[in-house]
């Protein structure tokens, strides 16, 4: 780590500290062996805490019938256990959900390393504790040193007893406090002799082996060293968190190669030990070659080793590449790895000089990186750099035999006509063809067959397998070697071509997937598309769950269609969603569930979960697993895109609503202000200067007050009508109406309001009466005429005409003003659209009401009529004509 | 007073309709213009003594009218504007308008503003005087002395400068930018916080009741005005 001038708090340390805020605190009572009194010590401390007023609850404590422990439990509140049916009987287990519901301040959970009965939420109790801590509950627990994952091997070596229940080191490293419960070995042995130590029904011999003074001393030392190392670690963290200048951890980074052989887990443990010593981050990596799938046992070895590494705190990577060494070194360089740990199988004695192991290759090629090679005696499988390819199908061998037969016939025929110096060339052709089309083994088969045929048919004495001249033997051997080499090279070339074709296929599938998803805009469409595509690509059922409100998950789509998951699967999905980690089949959480759930992570956090059916007999190969990860990423980003688009649309419509509101407010304030100004001005003039204003002017001022008040009233009416029109609550009071009368009234009102234009009324004779709401009709005409008066200019002529047109009456208002620009003509009936008199925004008036024509349209349509605008007006060079029709036979009942 | 002529510029006939009799009754001669071009023509050919200017004109922005008038004349311009258009008012004042009246307005208020604007023109002759008076204050510029009812008040140089600037324009609205530019210089046109602090201090020292100032009045959102 680079030293800077001023020591800075390491971000990681601060982050770790911050993450602990809000989490419960974990205290581990650590002992070297059973019987040292961990549970007793824990209970003693708990009683003290209870006496201090802490809300302590016993989650689970195994007293094993010991009196002294039982008396310690007395008086402490105990959480009832949950009975889980297992193999026909009920097993009382720790009740995680009960504890989470009870939410004590401090919970005692004995035996950290305990394995839960199958069917519990988590396979291990330490995972339960993880949940409790996450919920903010403080937990005290007990642990024996031999249950610590990384010490498992060591303890086995010391004691000869293999401990099956283990706790990952991280689960202990994260403990806030570790309390060492120590008892000298002699004392412990004495307690054992008195029967005070409960030992699970292990064979007596094993007990004897375990509780030997030498073992106990070694275990005690292990435990003490662990705790001492932890103290160091706490100190270091404190120094980093507090920005104390001091020795920094060396920048070691360790990579462990995980292979399919049985030693994989041992290598992982060794790497963990190295990583701990160097206080280094470490990676466990496995590389699979495309086209050479692992068998069941090998796959399980790899999976188990990777899971172990993960539980020991490693980052794991499953890679796919045709050259394992290249791939390993690429990731090593990328991750800045300084040390590589690899197992080396001891090859069979004979092949030792010829077989190059992975370890050898790494040592040769990893320049600048230290390589630790661990050799295991019992390892019987080799991790060759290039595994032998599969034998191939039968038709490959048939084809090889046919190729050799044809070569033989060809050779026979040719030698009859031409003196061919070396017929063996033709047989090389017979080797090359199966190598290219069927792989290595058929080609090797063809090589041997060719050698035999060549010998039989062409080497003297012909038609026997005996060879007369010694140099012919040499020639035959050379031929065989060349043929086999060609087989190998050509076969490898073919394999690589196949691998790259496979990669191209995978790439294309991914491209297709992305392309399909990108064409979809809706969350449910994307989920549906993703599920069906993933099903098509990986040939397993797929389900997509998406977060709905309040962080709840709901099935958005599944393929084959399915709309429910069982409770266990759902809780696995929820776990994956909440933690952002895979859950379900072949993971550490709820592994019994028949689905593998991957979180769909967006930038702002998880947005859903993808589930893939787990087929018990066909685990997912790493290649598909990598593909699934990529598919999940693509799905997540498509879903995120859809969510963002939805939000954008919401924001846009909210902004539009806001704009409309603002325009409404502005227009109301503007249109109300002028009449208000006039009224206030005229009234205050009369009050202040009434005596000095001549009577005629006084009358005019009073008239102005009345007219402007009228004007205001009209506007209030318009606003109310608009509101009612929008609410669909316009109440038509139909009566027989004389349209001519309405027209005349509107023109008179316009004149009264100071219209200075030339107003012309043109009424057809014998206009029929119309069934309509007269007051609303007045409003329509007042608005349309008012619009013309306002925009046509002082010199214009405004013609208001009414005529019968078929089954309806048409009323039109035509002016000779500037008209409406073509771009606006389609919008004149929309709310708040208001043309400026010269086509540009006016400095002040540009945001006027623009309600008049919209209201006219609403009222006319409520009467079953139509309204339209034309500009320039028909038969004129400019101007605007607004016409509306009212049906003579309105719909019955309207 | 009969010799004073007011030009009313507004495109709403209703405004002219009540302003004309009101102004006549108050003793002014009234001229009328319905748009910006007409206003400019009237001011150029037959300069009135004051202009009442509506900012919303059909042919050009009222602010442009102010800018053009200010190129050749310093006659008082009172802007008629909506109450909610602070930014527009500030712009108009910065361009050189003398005052504003919020629409809708009562005639009494309008007349008071007209009188103040007209008086200010004549008062500007005294702006260069060595001793300024503002209400109970007497400001002796050469000697940097301020007295209130004969009692001396200690001011910092900046406070004094600010007070002099305000007192030189009694009754006139001064925008924040105008005051900041004149007292602190053009680099501080946006530093309104200075102004708030100094005006607060001045009020503490000069006002009888700093909480309800009678000398330095706030025009909310726009600036300050020195009481006449």
Residues B110 and B147 in one domain: no
Q: State how many domains chain B has.
A: 2
**How many angstroms separate the CA of residue B12 from the nearest CA in chain A?**
8
**How many angstroms separate the CA of residue B36 from the nearest CA in chain A?**
11
**How many angstroms separate the CA of residue B84 from the nearest CA in chain A?**
9
Residues B26 and B107 in one domain: yes
Pairing of strands A26-31, A177-181: parallel
pLDDT at A21: 64
Q: What is the Cα–Cα distance from A144 to A30, expressed in whole angstroms?
A: 6
**How many angstroms separate the CA of residue A848 from the nearest CA in chain B?**
12
CATH code for residues A254-376: 3.40.50.620
- Percent over 90 (pLDDT), chain B: 29
**C-alpha triplet A381, A386, A392: angle, nearest 5°:** 90
Helix A424-438, helix A440-458: angle, nearest 10: 160
Pairing of strands A808-815, A254-257: unpaired
For residue B125, the 8-state DSSP code is G
For residue A619, the 8-state DSSP code is P
Residues B71 and B37 in one domain: yes
Residues B140 and B184 in one domain: yes
Q: What is the Cα–Cα distance from A362 to A340, expressed in whole angstroms?
A: 9
Q: Are A407 and A427 in contact (CB under 8 A)?
A: yes
Q: What is the Cα–Cα distance from A486 to A334, expressed in whole angstroms?
A: 36
Q: What is the Cα–Cα distance from A285 to A308, expressed in whole angstroms?
A: 12
pLDDT at A242: 46
Give the burial string for B124-145 (b: 16+ CB within 10 Å, else e). eeeeeeeebebbebbbebeeee
CATH code for position B200: 1.10.10.10
Please report, for chain A, the start and end positions of each structural domain, with discontinuous segments joined by +: 11-241, 254-376, 394-497, 522-634, 725-887
Helix B192-206, helix B176-183: angle, nearest 10: 80
Helix H or strand E segment including B137: strand B137-140
Residues B203 and B221 in one domain: yes
Domain A11-241 and domain A254-376, same fold? Reply is: yes
pLDDT at residue B201 above 60? Answer: yes
CATH code for position B107: 3.40.50.2300
For residue B130, the 8-state DSSP code is S
CA A600 to chain centre: 2
Cβ burial, residue A76 (10 Å; 0-12/13-18/19+): middle
Residues B116 and B189 in one domain: no
Fold of A725-887: Heat Shock Protein 90 (3.30.565)
Q: Given B124, B155, B185, which residue is the final one in a domain?
A: B124
- Percent over 70 (pLDDT), chain B: 95
- Phi and psi angles of residue B126, each rounded to the nearest 5 degrees, phi first: -85, -5
pLDDT along chain A (894 residues), means of 10: 47 59 84 83 88 88 78 85 80 86 90 84 87 89 85 75 79 80 81 71 60 78 72 55 39 84 84 82 82 71 82 79 82 82 67 63 82 69 48 78 88 80 80 81 84 83 79 82 84 78 78 82 86 86 85 85 84 86 80 87 85 82 79 87 82 75 68 84 88 87 87 79 73 83 87 83 88 86 87 88 90 89 80 50 37 83 88 84 87 45
Q: Work out the pLDDT band at B132, boundaries 50, 70, 90.
A: confident
Chain B residues with at least one Cβ partner in A under 8 Å: 12-15, 17-19, 21-22, 24-26, 54-58, 60-62, 82, 84, 103-108, 110-111
- Which residues of chain B lie closer than 8 angstroms to A702, CB-CB? none
**How many angstroms separate the CA of residue B14 from the nearest CA in chain A?**
6
Hey, are the CB atoms on A677 and B19 less than 8 Å from each other? Answer: no
Q: Work out the pLDDT band at B53, boundaries 50, 70, 90.
A: very high
Helix A470-518, helix A424-438: angle, nearest 10: 20
Q: Are A147 and A166 in contact (CB under 8 A)?
A: yes
Fold of A522-634: Beta-Lactamase (3.30.450)
Would you tell me how many other CB atoms lie within 10 Å of the CB of residue A247?
7
Q: What is the Cα–Cα distance from A389 to A440, expressed in whole angstroms?
A: 7
Residues B96 and B174 in one domain: no
Q: Are B5 and B11 in contact (CB under 8 A)?
A: no
**How many angstroms separate the CA of residue B27 from the nearest CA in chain A?**
9
Using left for φ > 0, alpha for ψ between -120 and 50, and beta otherwise, residue A864 falls in left
Residue B138, domain extent: 127-226
Residues B12 and B25 in one domain: yes
Give me A389's structure tokens: 């390819």
- Nearest by CB to A685, from B22, B62, B104: name it: B22
Size of interface A-B (CB pairs under 8 A): 97
pLDDT at A390: 60
- Nearest by CB to A685, from B61, B62, B107: name it: B107
Q: What is the Cα–Cα distance from A622 to A630, expressed in whole angstroms?
A: 12
The CATH class of A11-241 is: alpha beta
Q: What is the Cα–Cα distance from A262 to A380, expressed in whole angstroms?
A: 8
The answer to whether the complex's ipTM is over 0.90 is no
Give me B133's structure tokens: 């008076």
pLDDT at A231: 63
pLDDT at A351: 47
- Which residues of chain B lie closer than 8 angstroms to A689, CB-CB? 21-22, 25-26, 107
- Nearest by CB to A844, from B13, B55, B107: name it: B55
- Which residues of chain A lie closer than 8 angstroms to B108, CB-CB? 684, 688
| pLDDT tens per residue, range A242-273 | 444 333 334 678 899 888 877 888 888 888 88
Pairing of strands A605-613, B131-134: unpaired
Residues B20 and B102 in one domain: yes
- Which residues of chain B lie closer than 8 angstroms to A754, CB-CB? 13-14
Residues B98 and B194 in one domain: no
| pLDDT tens per residue, range B92-127 | 999 989 898 888 888 888 998 898 888 877 666 566
Chain A residues with at least one Cβ partner in B under 8 Å: 669-670, 673-682, 684-685, 688-689, 692-693, 697-698, 700-701, 704, 708, 754, 837-838, 842-845
Mutation target among B11, B12, B14, B83 for the A interface, most CBs of A within 10 A: B14
**C-alpha triplet B186, B190, B193: angle, nearest 5°:** 120
Residues B133 and B105 in one domain: no
Alpha-carbon distances of A279 from A250, A253, A276, B67, rounded to whole Å: 8, 9, 5, 75
Q: Work out the pLDDT band at B38, boundaries 50, 70, 90.
A: very high
Mutation target among B12, B16, B18, B39 for the A interface, most CBs of A within 10 A: B18
- Which residues of chain A lie closer than 8 angstroms to B62, CB-CB? 843-844
pLDDT at A293: 64
Residues B132 and B72 in one domain: no
């Amino acid at each position: 780590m680079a030293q800077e001038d001023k020591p800075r708090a390491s971000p990681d340390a601060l982050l770790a500290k911050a993450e602990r805020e809000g989490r419960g605190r974990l205290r581990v009572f650590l002992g070297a062996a059973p019987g040292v009194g961990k549970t007793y010590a824990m209970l003693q401390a708990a009683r003290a805490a209870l006496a201090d007023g802490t809300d302590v609850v016993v989650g689970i404590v195994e007293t094993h019938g010991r009196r002294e422990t039982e008396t310690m439990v007395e008086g402490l509140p105990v959480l009832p256990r949950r009975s889980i049916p297992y193999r026909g009987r009920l097993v009382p287990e720790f009740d995680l959900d009960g504890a989470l519901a009870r939410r004590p301040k401090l919970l005692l959970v004995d035996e950290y390393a305990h394995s839960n009965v199958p069917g519990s939420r988590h396979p291990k109790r330490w995972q339960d504790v993880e949940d409790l801590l996450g919920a903010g509950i403080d937990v005290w627990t007990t642990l024996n040193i031999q249950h610590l994952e990384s010490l498992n091997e060591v303890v086995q070596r010391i004691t000869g007893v293999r401990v099956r229940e283990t706790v990952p080191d991280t689960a202990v490293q994260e403990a806030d406090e570790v309390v060492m419960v120590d008892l000298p070995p002699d004392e412990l042995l004495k307690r054992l002799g008195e029967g005070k130590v409960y030992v699970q029904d292990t064979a007596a011999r094993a007990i004897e082996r375990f509780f030997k003074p030498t073992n106990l001393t070694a275990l005690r030392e292990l435990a003490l060293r662990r705790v001492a190392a932890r103290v160091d670690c706490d100190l270091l963290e404190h120094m980093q968190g507090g920005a104390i200048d001091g020795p920094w951890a060396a920048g070691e980074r360790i990579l462990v190669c995980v292979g399919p052989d049985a030693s994989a887990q041992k290598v992982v443990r060794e790497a963990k030990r190295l990583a701990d010593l160097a206080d280094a981050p470490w990676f466990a990596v496995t590389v699979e070659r495309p086209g050479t799938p692992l068998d069941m046992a090998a796959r399980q070895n790899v999976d188990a080793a990777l899971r172990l590494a993960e539980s020991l705190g490693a980052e794991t990577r499953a890679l796919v590449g045709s050259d394992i060494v290249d791939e390993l070194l690429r990731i090593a360089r990328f991750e800045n790895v300084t040390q590589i740990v690899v197992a080396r199988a001891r090859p069979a004695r004979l092949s030792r000089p010829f077989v190059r192991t992975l370890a050898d290759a790494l040592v040769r090629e990893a320049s600048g990186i230290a390589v630790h090679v661990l050799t295991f005696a019992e390892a019987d499988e080799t991790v060759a750099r290039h595994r032998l390819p599969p034998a191939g199908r039968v038709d490959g061998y048939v084809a090889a035999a046919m190729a050799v037969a044809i070569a033989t016939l060809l050779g026979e025929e040719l030698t009859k006509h031409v003196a061919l110096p070396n017929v063996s060339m033709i047989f090389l052709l017979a080797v090359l063809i199966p190598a290219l089309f069927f792989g290595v083994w058929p080609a090797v088969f063809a090589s041997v067959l060719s050698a035999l045929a060549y010998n039989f048919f062409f080497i003297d004495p012909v038609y026997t397998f005996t060879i007369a001249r010694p140099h012919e033997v040499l020639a035959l051997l050379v031929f065989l070697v060349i043929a086999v080499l060609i087989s190998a090279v050509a076969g490898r070339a073919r394999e690589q071509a196949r691998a790259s074709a496979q990669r191209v296929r995978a790439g294309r599938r991914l491209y297709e997937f992305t392309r399909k998803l990108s064409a979809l805009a809706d969350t449910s469409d994307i989920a549906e598309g993703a599920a069906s595509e993933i099903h098509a690509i990986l040939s397993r059922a797929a389900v997509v769950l998406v977060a709905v409100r309040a962080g709840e998950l709901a099935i958005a789509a599944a393929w084959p269609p399915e709309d429910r998951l069982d409770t266990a699967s759902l809780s696995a999905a929820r776990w994956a969603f909440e933690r952002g980690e895979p859950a379900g089949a072949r993971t550490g959480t709820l592994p019994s569930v028949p689905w593998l759930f991957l979180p769909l992570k967006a930038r702002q956090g998880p947005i859903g979960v993808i589930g893939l059916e787990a087929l018990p007999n066909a685990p997912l190969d790493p290649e598909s697993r990598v593909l699934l990860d990529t598919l999940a990423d693509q799905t997540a980003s498509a879903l995120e895109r859809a969510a963002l688009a939805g939000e954008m649309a919401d924001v846009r419509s909210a902004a539009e609503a806001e704009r409309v509101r603002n325009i409404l407010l502005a227009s109301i304030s503007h249109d109300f202000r002028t009449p208000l100004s006039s009224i206030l001005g005229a009234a205050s003039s009369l009050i202040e200067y009434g005596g000095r204003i001549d009577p005629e002017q006084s009358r005019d001022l009073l008239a102005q007050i009345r007219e402007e008040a009228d004007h205001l009233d009209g506007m209030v009416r318009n606003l109310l009508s608009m509101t009612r029109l929008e609410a669909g609550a316009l109440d038509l009071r139909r009566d027989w109406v004389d349209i001519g009368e309405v027209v005349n009234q509107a023109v008179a009102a316009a004149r009264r309001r100071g219209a200075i234009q030339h107003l012309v009324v043109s009424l057809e004779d014998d206009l029929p009466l119309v069934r309509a709401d007269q007051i609303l009709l007045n409003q329509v005409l007042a608005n349309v005429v008012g619009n013309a008066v306002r925009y046509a200019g002082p010199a214009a002529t405004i013609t208001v005409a009414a005529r019968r047109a078929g089954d309806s009456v048409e009323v039109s208002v035509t002016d000779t003003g500037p008209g409406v620009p073509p771009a606006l003509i389609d919008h004149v009936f929309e709310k708040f659209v208001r043309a400026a008199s010269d086509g540009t925004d006016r400095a002040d008036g540009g945001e006027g009401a623009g309600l008049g024509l919209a209201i006219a349209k609403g009222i006319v349509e409520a009467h079953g009529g139509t309204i339209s605008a034309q500009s320039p007006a028909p038969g004129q060079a400019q101007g605007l004509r607004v016409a509306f029709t009212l049906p003579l036979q309105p719909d019955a009942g309207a | 007073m009969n010799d004073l002529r007011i030009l009313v510029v507004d495109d709403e006939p209703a405004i002219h309709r009540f302003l004309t009799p009101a102004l006549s009754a108050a003793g002014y001669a009234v001229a009328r213009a319905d748009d910006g071009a007409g206003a400019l023509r009237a001011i150029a050919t037959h300069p009135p003594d004051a202009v009442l200017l509506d900012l919303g004109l059909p042919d050009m922005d009222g602010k442009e009218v102010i800018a053009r008038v200010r190129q050749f004349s310093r006659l008082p311009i009172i802007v008629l504007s909506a109450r909610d258009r602070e930014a527009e008012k500030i712009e108009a004042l910065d361009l050189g308008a003398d005052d504003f009246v919020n629409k809708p307005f009562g005639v009494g208020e309008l007349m008071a503003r007209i009188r103040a604007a007209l008086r200010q023109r004549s008062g500007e002759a005294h702006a260069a005087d060595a001793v300024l008076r503002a209400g109970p204050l007497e400001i002796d510029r050469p000697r940097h002395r301020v007295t209130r009812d004969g009692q001396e008040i200690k001011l910092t140089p900046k406070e004094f400068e600010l007070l002099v600037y305000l007192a030189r324009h009694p009754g006139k609205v001064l925008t924040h930018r105008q005051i900041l530019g004149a007292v602190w210089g053009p680099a501080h046109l946006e530093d309104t916080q200075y102004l708030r602090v100094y005006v607060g201090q001045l009020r503490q020292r000069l006002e009888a009741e700093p909480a309800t100032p009678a000398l330095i009045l706030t025009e909310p959102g726009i600036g300050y005005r020195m009481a006449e």
